[in-house]
Amino acid sequence: MPVYNPPAENIKFILHDVLNASQLSELPGFEEVSEDLMDQILEEGGKICSEVLFPLNQSGDQEGCHYENGVVRTPEGFKEAYDTFTEGGWCGVSADPDYGGMGMPVLMNTVMQEMICSSNMSFGMYPGLSQGAYEALHHFGTDEQKELYLPKLIEGTWSGTMNLTEPHCGTDLGLIKTKAIPNDDDSFQITGTKIFISAGEHDLTENIVHLVLAKMPDAPDGVKGISLFVVPKYLPNEDGSVGERNGVRCGSIEHKMGIHANSTCVMNFDDAKGWLVGEPHKGLKAMFVMMNAARLGVGMQGLGICEIAYQNGLAYAKDRLQMRSLTGTKYPDKPADPIIVHPDVRRMLLKSKAVTEGGRALAYWTGLNLDISQKHEDEQARKEADDLVALLTPIVKAYLTDMGTEIANECLQVYGGHGYIAEWGMEQYVRDARIAQIYEGTNGIQALDLVGRKMGQGYGRLLRRFFHPAQQFIEEHQADENMQEFVFAFAKALAKLQQSTAMIAQKGLKNPDEAGAASSDYLRQFALVALAYMWCLMVKAAQKKLDDGEGDKEFYEAKIKTARFFMQRLLPEADGRFKMILAGADTLMDMDAEAF
């Protein structure tokens, strides 16, 4: 049976020692956000994840969702768990207090997302989709729409969805066929079919609020003709209560590789009544607010899988007895040594630990800057933080989800044959992790976003938000004897990243295929360098604790040893990616399609 313990000590280390998250108390609206308050939220959130959500993860996967005549029933225990979740206010951790939210920083919601995804990724998608709907309506909804929908989404009595994909189009949304015909009032009749709609139909809430991309009759071709509409499952009465059924039905649910306890639906809109969100033909702008929030959330799914896979791989490696150590017996009182004595098992576990802890720092740093971008009183500080979040979003989404699959597979390998057996729970993490590399924009699309949009935006302005503080850190710490081995490795990798950035920018202007061919390797190179930066920050924080004689000495020494492993064993991959980028587009594009 799998295990999960919220990694509170590691989370607190990142929040308090590395990021100094209490600085958020200086921002308007966050005056009460102290270190103690953050720790309380972490503790209570950890309890509901480990005690309520995690026990349903394996049973929910085995049972799956049930579909009959347009009705979807979630696995046994999910409705009760959802009610407990909503009663605790967990749907509105970072939501606007004016509509009933806690008003906590996005950073704390990021922490909660990680723990939810570790404990029960399928469950987490239900409130996760609602959060995306909340973001879109909060940014672009009318006052009437906000008053009607936001309190319900925050309290969790209503849930939300994103309806983008259609049978003939996914990434190329300009091809959508769903129509929005205006009525005599301010509503529209929405007709069309959407597929792959997560949480599109279920029994957890009294109403489901669908955000739907559609085209009006006068819409121009392509993405410039897309509008966004809010289409509730049940039409609200004037007092906000649930009224008559709208013309939207679930046609079927998908039978899929993983996330069995989350309903993935085909949604049929048949003259369903909807209302415009934002401006006509500007729906993609509104939807991207929702999608960017979702992309960071999906990144946390990857991180959550990394953490739960590592915890279970580690527990098994300490318990499983097989053979003796290569350098002689380590546990003479046992018939064999636990497999954690073997170098290759340690390689897999240390890789899992280094990626998980480094990825956590990167994700939380992004969450911190998202708060600064929204709340800081200085416009320039807001803009700089927003630039950094825009730059890091595709990296967090793509790298952490790639590693979710990779680390789940590594930790399954630790189990050997037992990892392949459902009873142990590891094979579920491999299956669940895989979708995160695909939805909310495949990781190849994230890479194209990084090189095609983020790299050149503002003549490299976004890139400078990372390169400048990174270079400054190197200059400030290169003479520190305790930091030199880490700073020098980071500096070399950063220089190579700057080289590949310049080369891709130059070649891509002449031939866009050059940028496309380099994109995935560049994103991975950037991610590794970003994690190297995070590990430098963690070493600095851990070394300070050791110098001051504070806290758990073994904990901080382990941070430094893990950083050393990352720099020597994982960061060199960035150099390999640099060489792949140098190869250019010819090896990919020279072959005719018929020759494949």
- What's the structural domain count of the chain? 3
Q: In terms of domains, do 278 and 197 share one?
A: yes
Among the listed residues 439, 27, 480, the one whose alpha carbon sits nearest the alpha carbon of residue 197:
439
Residue 202 has pLDDT above 80, yes or no: yes
Q: Residue 459 — very low, low, confident or very high, per pLDDT cuts 50/70/90?
A: very high
User: What pLDDT shows up at residue 499?
Assistant: 98
Residue-wise pLDDT for 236-268, tens only, equals 999 999 999 999 999 999 999 999 999 999 999
Whether residue 310 lies inside any domain: the answer is no
The packing angle between helices 461-477 and 512-548, to 10°, is: 30
User: What pLDDT shows up at residue 287?
Assistant: 77
What's the mean pLDDT in 150-168?
96
* Average pLDDT for the chain: 96
Q: In terms of domains, do 165 and 270 share one?
A: yes
Q: What gap in Å lies between CA 246 and CA 415, rounded to an integer?
A: 49
Whether residue 374 lies inside any domain: the answer is no
Helix (H) or strand (E) holding 583: none
What's the mean pLDDT in 208-220?
96
User: What pLDDT shows up at residue 160?
Assistant: 97
Q: Residue 289 — very low, low, confident or very high, per pLDDT cuts 50/70/90?
A: confident
> CB within 8 A of 110, min separation 6: which ones?
296, 300, 363, 364, 366, 367
Whether residue 314 lies inside any domain: the answer is no
Q: In terms of domains, do 174 and 51 share one?
A: no
User: What pLDDT shows up at residue 191?
Assistant: 98
Q: What gap in Å lies between CA 189 and CA 318, rounded to an integer?
A: 60
Q: What gap in Å lies between CA 128 and CA 113, rounded to an integer?
A: 8
Establish whether 440 is a catalytic residue.
Answer: yes
Q: Residue 473 — very low, low, confident or very high, per pLDDT cuts 50/70/90?
A: very high
Phi and psi dihedrals of 232, rounded to 5?
-75, 150
- CATH number of the domain that 23 lies in? 1.10.540.10
User: What is the number of H-type helices and E-type strands within the chain?
Assistant: 17, 11
Per annotation, catalytic residue among 440, 475, 481, 550: 440
Cα separation values, 443 from 176, 291, 387, 398, Å? 22, 14, 20, 5
Whether residue 75 lies inside any domain: the answer is yes
Q: In terms of domains, do 132 and 214 share one?
A: no
Q: In terms of domains, do 135 and 200 share one?
A: no
User: What pLDDT shows up at residue 290?
Assistant: 74
Q: In terms of domains, do 222 and 269 share one?
A: yes
Percent pLDDT > 90 in the chain is 95
What's the mean pLDDT in 404-429?
98
Of 285-289, 513-517, 531-535, least confident by mean pLDDT is 285-289
Q: What gap in Å lies between CA 115 and CA 126, rounded to an integer?
A: 15
Q: What gap in Å lies between CA 551 and CA 13, rounded to an integer?
A: 11
Q: Residue 170 — very low, low, confident or very high, per pLDDT cuts 50/70/90?
A: confident
Sign of CA dihedral 561, 19, 52, 135: negative
Phi and psi dihedrals of 103, rounded to 5?
70, 25
Could you list the beta-strand ranges (E) of 282-405.
Answer: none
Name the one residue in this structure whose structure tokens are 């509730």. Answer: 232
Answer with the one of 110, 144, 178 that is the final residue of a domain. Answer: 144
Q: In terms of domains, do 122 and 163 share one?
A: no
Judge whether 388 and 437 are in contact, CB under 8 Å: no
Answer with the one of 233, 266, 282 that is the final residue of a domain. Answer: 282
What's the mean pLDDT in 289-313?
93
Compute CA 592 distance to the chain's CA centroid, rounded to the nearest angstrom.
Answer: 37
Which of the 8 DSSP states describes residue 67? E
Residue 70 has pLDDT above 90, yes or no: yes
Q: Residue 127 — very low, low, confident or very high, per pLDDT cuts 50/70/90?
A: very high
Whether residue 473 lies inside any domain: the answer is yes
> CB within 8 A of 341, min separation 6: which ones?
325, 330
Q: In terms of domains, do 12 and 134 share one?
A: yes
Q: In terms of domains, do 467 and 580 share one?
A: yes
Q: How many CB atoms lie within 10 A of CB 580?
A: 18
User: What pLDDT shows up at residue 469?
Assistant: 98
User: What pLDDT shows up at residue 174?
Assistant: 77
- CATH number of the domain that 266 lies in? 2.40.110.20
Model-wide pTM > 0.95? yes
User: What pLDDT shows up at residue 2?
Assistant: 95
What's the mean pLDDT in 107-133?
97
What's the mean pLDDT in 526-539?
98
For residue 213, the SS3 value is strand
Q: What gap in Å lies between CA 74 and CA 82, rounded to an integer?
A: 11
What's the mean pLDDT in 61-71?
97
Whether residue 532 lies inside any domain: the answer is yes
What's the mean pLDDT in 354-383?
97
Residue 101 has pLDDT above 80, yes or no: yes
Which of the 8 DSSP states describes residue 169? B
Answer with the one of 251, 282, 313 that is the final residue of a domain. Answer: 282
Judge whether 451 and 515 are in contact, CB under 8 Å: yes
Q: In terms of domains, do 171 and 103 share one?
A: no
Q: What gap in Å lies between CA 145 and CA 152, rounded to an integer?
A: 11
For residue 73, the SS3 value is strand
Whether residue 394 lies inside any domain: the answer is no
Residue 284 has pLDDT above 90, yes or no: no
Q: Residue 25 — very low, low, confident or very high, per pLDDT cuts 50/70/90?
A: very high
Strands 242-245 and 234-236: antiparallel
User: What pLDDT shows up at residue 282?
Assistant: 92
The tokens describing 425, both together, are 């729970």
Q: Which domain holds residue 60?
A: 8-144
Helix (H) or strand (E) holding 55: none
Q: In terms of domains, do 538 and 508 share one?
A: yes
Percent pLDDT > 70 in the chain is 100
Q: In terms of domains, do 182 and 138 share one?
A: no
For residue 321, the SS3 value is strand
User: What pLDDT shows up at residue 274?
Assistant: 98
Judge whether 438 and 260 are in contact, CB under 8 Å: no
User: What pLDDT shows up at residue 508?
Assistant: 92
Q: Residue 100 — very low, low, confident or very high, per pLDDT cuts 50/70/90?
A: very high
User: What pLDDT shows up at residue 288?
Assistant: 77
Whether residue 254 lies inside any domain: the answer is yes
Which of the 8 DSSP states describes residue 217? T
What's the mean pLDDT in 464-490?
98
User: What pLDDT shows up at residue 173?
Assistant: 77
User: What pLDDT shows up at residue 552?
Assistant: 97
Residue 291 has pLDDT above 80, yes or no: no
User: What pLDDT shows up at residue 375?
Assistant: 96
User: What pLDDT shows up at residue 175?
Assistant: 86
